[in-house]
Structure 1
Amino acid sequence: MSTAENQDQEYIVEYVDGPLAGRTDRRILVRGKYDERLGAIEAVDGLESTFWYVAGDSREIQGLLHVKYNFDSPESDPVERTPEDE
């Protein structure tokens, strides 16, 4: 598969806010579409946490699709430790 074909099948995730703010990631388009919602597992203070993000604005930059994702706090694990975690 050529580089151009790969770019047609992938997109860039831009985490706008939440614990992953400022990070980017590459993901594969499924049937030509990006994920409306995605989960990310990260370690926070040594605890594995699941963070959910919802797709927002999208745009094309140099022929590659970029999608902004916003943090879905109510659906995600807490970012701060609680006394029961200690």
Structure 2
Amino acid sequence: MSDITIHEGDEYTAIFHGGPFDGTTDTRTATSDALDDEVTVFADVEGLQTAFTYRATKSRQVLDQTSVEFTYEPGESDPVDDLADRGDRSGEFDRVEPRAAALHGHMQLDLWTSAFCAPCAAARRVSAEASALVPGLAVTERDVASYPDDAEDLGIRSTPTIIVRREDGSEVFRSPGVPTRDQLLLAIAKAL
């Protein structure tokens, strides 16, 4: 896309074109030494968390200010025209299959996120994959802004943070950042 120099932790301005965020901007923080090629922005549409994907198309740097233009990718985003086709996912992360829970024990995965956190989308995907593969895994997502006291008590210093607990509540795994699916599955196995 360009030869712009950016480092992990640097801020840049994202300018969105098309889709529901058309004409809006957001200050983002680089999560590596490169600009994001793609971002996923989440919004609540009729009670369902909806993912909107935007792809970087242009970037520029003027003095110390960097901006990236992102264009809406409807084919890679959740459909919004017919929400009935998507099904109701509102309780997706809270499901526990009673028979499986009895067989495998109950495990808890706490996913701590924040608004406009690009890596949080990847953490959601990894958590959802683990939930689909491990019967009896209860996944709860919490926004640090909505639960600041709990986040402070638990020592949440960055988002995303994933905590896996045994049935008795004891912590067996903590990942600030996004673990791989295999790392997360190994941690869940330790919780059994």
Task: Give TM class, smaller chain.
Answer: 0.7 to 0.9
| Alpha-carbon distance, 1:76 to partner | 0.6
1:54-65 alignment runs, 5 A limit: 54-61=55-62, 63-65=64-66
| Partner of residue 9, structure 1 | 10
Q: After the TM superposition, which of the residue ranges 67-76 and 39-48 deviates more from structure 2?
A: 39-48
Identity, in percent, stands at 29
Greater RCO, CA 8 A, separation 6+: 1
The runs of 5 or more residues in structure 1 that have no matched partner are 1-7
Aligned residues: 79
**Bigger Cα Rg:** 2
Residue aligned with 1:79, SS: coil
| Structure 1 CA distance for aligned equivalents of residues 46 and 71 of structure 2 | 22
| Alpha-carbon distance, 1:49 to partner | 0.3
| Structure 2 CA distance for aligned equivalents of residues 69 and 41 of structure 1 | 15
| Alpha-carbon distance, 1:83 to partner | 4.0
| Structure 1 CA distance for aligned equivalents of residues 34 and 26 of structure 2 | 16
Higher strand share: 1
Provide the aligned C-alpha RMSD in A. 2.2
Give the letter aligned to residue 19 of structure 2: G
| Alpha-carbon distance, 1:62 to partner | 5.4
| Partner of residue 54, structure 2 | 53
Kept in 2, the 8 Å contact 1:51–1:76? The answer is yes
| Partner of residue 68, structure 1 | 69
| Structure 2 CA distance for aligned equivalents of residues 64 and 19 of structure 1 | 25
| Structure 1 CA distance for aligned equivalents of residues 43 and 11 of structure 2 | 22
| Structure 2 CA distance for aligned equivalents of residues 80 and 29 of structure 1 | 32
Give the TM-score normalised by the residue count of structure 1.
0.76
| Partner of residue 41, structure 1 | 42
Residue aligned with 2:67, SS: strand
Give the letter aligned to residue 20 of structure 2: P
Give the letter aligned to residue 57 of structure 2: G
Give the letter aligned to residue 11 of structure 2: E
Kept in 2, the 8 Å contact 1:28–1:34? The answer is no
| Partner of residue 80, structure 1 | 81
Q: Which runs of 4+ in 1 moved over 6 A?
A: none
| Structure 2 CA distance for aligned equivalents of residues 47 and 31 of structure 1 | 30
Kept in 2, the 8 Å contact 1:14–1:25? The answer is yes
The runs of 5 or more residues in structure 2 that have no matched partner are 1-8, 89-192
Higher helix share: 2
Give the TM-score normalised by the residue count of structure 2.
0.37
